[in-house]
Chain A
Amino acid sequence: MKKPWYEYMWTVSALYLILGFFNILFAWLGLLCFFIPLIISAAKGTKAYCNKYCGRGQLFSLLGKKFRLSRNKPMPRWMTTKWFRYGFLTFFMIMFIQMIIVTVLVFKGARGLSETVKLLWVFRVPWSWAYRITWVPAWVSQFAFGFYSVMLTSTILGLITMILFKPRSWCVYCPMGSMTQLLCQVRLRKYEQ
């Protein structure tokens, strides 16, 4: 049986991460994985993005199962609680807003462009080699560096929990997944009224 096209979305996720090593401006494409899930949830009230199209989930599945990189053990209970999920979502959003603030500061000229990728919100890694198109406004590049940091950081976290626990452990605390589920809840409540 031929696999449907969306089962190959993991290649898109992998390609995205690779492209960021060559030209940081490709990071902007990552906004698609932010808006598409939210639009699907808001418009249709489903988590079709998680269920079918999410390339990252597929990538973790592939690495964890086919390549046997996962221990396949259950996650600790506290990691599956709502407290942890929404706590992580809150932390993630605060960090995201901070990244937007830095972008705005660069736009206003109050800060210079930092050609670095910040991993796990702490470690600044020099990334100048991927800063190739220098004629775009500085804030455009700053956002790209910031957004790629978010994407790479979350991939690293996902890889760590993939190895330690089940392949798709990331899905349990994925901020996008939490947000889309919240949207579905709100939508259903409105529909019921």
Chain B
Amino acid sequence: MAKKLAQIDKAVCVACGSCVKVCPRKAISIWQGLYAIVDENRCIGCGICAKECPASIISIERLEVGA
């Protein structure tokens, strides 16, 4: 099944948490103060986080996810 999901470029993420605050599905969390991670089961690919991210490193991509 293909699904729209937020993809985070972990290498440049500053872990500021802006995306966590705006996610309407509480799908994002900051892992160990290093970078943001997306819960693929919760993410609906709405793109609100991508718009919010000050570094603009979140993209919305159509990805195949396991059934």
Chain B residues touching A, range: 10 to 19
Across-interface contacts of B21 in A (CB, < 8 A):
51
> Which residues of A (146-184) have their CB < 8 Å from a CB of B?
165-172, 174, 177-178, 180-181, 183-184
A11 within 8 A of B: no
Asked whether A184 lies within 8 Å of B32 as measured between CB atoms, the reply is yes
The segment from A28-36, A80-88, A116-124, A133-141 found at the interface with B is: A80-88
Q: Mark B10-28, 1 if CB is under 8 A from A, else 0.
A: 0010111110110000000
A185 within 8 A of B: yes
Task: Give the CA-CA distance A82 to B21 in the complex, in Å.
Answer: 24
**What total of chain A residues lie within 8 Å of the partner, measured CB to CB?**
34
Most buried by A among B21, B54, B56: B54
Asked whether A50 lies within 8 Å of B32 as measured between CB atoms, the reply is no
Across-interface contacts of B51 in A (CB, < 8 A):
72
Asked whether A46 lies within 8 Å of B55 as measured between CB atoms, the reply is no
Across-interface contacts of A48 in B (CB, < 8 A):
33
Given A80-B12, A82-B12, A184-B32, is A51 in contact with B17 using a C-beta cutoff of 8 Å? yes
Asked whether A171 lies within 8 Å of B12 as measured between CB atoms, the reply is no
Given A47-B16, A85-B14, is A75 in contact with B33 using a C-beta cutoff of 8 Å? no
Asked whether A171 lies within 8 Å of B33 as measured between CB atoms, the reply is no
Residue of B nearest to A41 (CB): B33
> Which residues of B (44-59) have their CB < 8 Å from a CB of A?
51-57
Most buried by A among B16, B21, B57: B16
Task: Give the CA-CA distance A171 to B54 in the complex, in Å.
Answer: 7
Task: Give the CA-CA distance A178 to B12 in the complex, in Å.
Answer: 11
Asked whether A81 lies within 8 Å of B16 as measured between CB atoms, the reply is no
In the complex, 13 of the A-B residue pairs with CB atoms within 8 angstroms, ordered by the A residue number, are A47-B15, A47-B17, A50-B17, A51-B20, A51-B21, A51-B30, A81-B12, A82-B12, A165-B54, A167-B54, A177-B15, A178-B14, A188-B32
